[in-house]
Amino acid sequence: MQEIRFIPKAYTSSVEDGSFTWTSPSNIALVKYWGKKEHQIPENPSVSFTLDNCKTTTILSFSKKEKQDNFSFDVFLDGDKKDDFKPKIETFFKRIEVYLPFLKNYHFKIETSNTFPHSSGIASSASGMSALAMCLMSLEKLLIESDVAMSTDENTINDGFFIQKASFLARLGSGSACRSLEGDLVVWGKHHEIEGSSDLFGVKYPFEVHENFKNYRDTILLVDKGEKQVSSSVGHNLMYGHPFAQERFKQAHKNLSSLINVFKEGDLDTFIEIVESEALTLHAMMMTSMPYFILMKPNTLEIINKIWSFRQTTNSKVCFTLDAGANVHVLYPESESEQVCEFIKNELVAFCQKGQYINDKIGFGAKQL
Interface positions with ligand DP6 (CB under 6 A) = 29, 32-34, 40, 46, 123, 125, 174-176, 232-233, 236, 282, 323-324
Which lies closer to ligand DP6 via its Cβ, residue 186 or residue 344?
186
CB of 130 to ligand DP6, least distance (A): 11
Q: How far apart are CA 117 and CA 49, in angstroms?
A: 21
Q: How far apart are CA 312 and CA 12, in angstroms?
A: 65
Which lies closer to ligand DP6 via its Cβ, residue 8 or residue 25?
25
Which lies closer to ligand DP6 via its Cβ, residue 30 or residue 307?
30
CB of 325 to ligand DP6, least distance (A): 8
CB of 14 to ligand DP6, least distance (A): 34
Q: How far apart are CA 98 and CA 178, in angstroms?
A: 18
Which lies closer to ligand DP6 via its Cβ, residue 33 or residue 85?
33
Asked if 90 and 71 touch (Cβ cutoff 8 Å), the reply is: yes
Which lies closer to ligand DP6 via its Cβ, residue 189 or residue 333?
189
DSSP type of residue 77: E
Which lies closer to ligand DP6 via its Cβ, residue 142 or residue 181?
181
> Taking the CB of residue 305, how many other CB atoms lie within 10 A of it?
10
Asked if 146 and 13 touch (Cβ cutoff 8 Å), the reply is: yes
3-state secondary structure of 106: strand
| Crossing angle of helices 125-145 and 86-96, rounded to 10° | 50
Q: Which amino acid is at 232?
A: S
CB of 85 to ligand DP6, least distance (A): 14
CB of 30 to ligand DP6, least distance (A): 9
CB of 123 to ligand DP6, least distance (A): 6
- Give the rounded distance of the alpha carbon of 89 from its chain centre: 16
Closest to 217 measured CA to CA, from 332, 336, 363: 332
CB of 309 to ligand DP6, least distance (A): 26
Which lies closer to ligand DP6 via its Cβ, residue 236 or residue 361?
236
End-to-end Cα spacing for the chain: 34
Q: How far apart are CA 245 and CA 251, in angstroms?
A: 10
Closest residue by beta carbon to ligand DP6:
175
Q: Is the peptide bond before 45 cis (omega within 30 degrees of 0)?
A: no
> Taking the CB of residue 215, how many other CB atoms lie within 10 A of it?
14
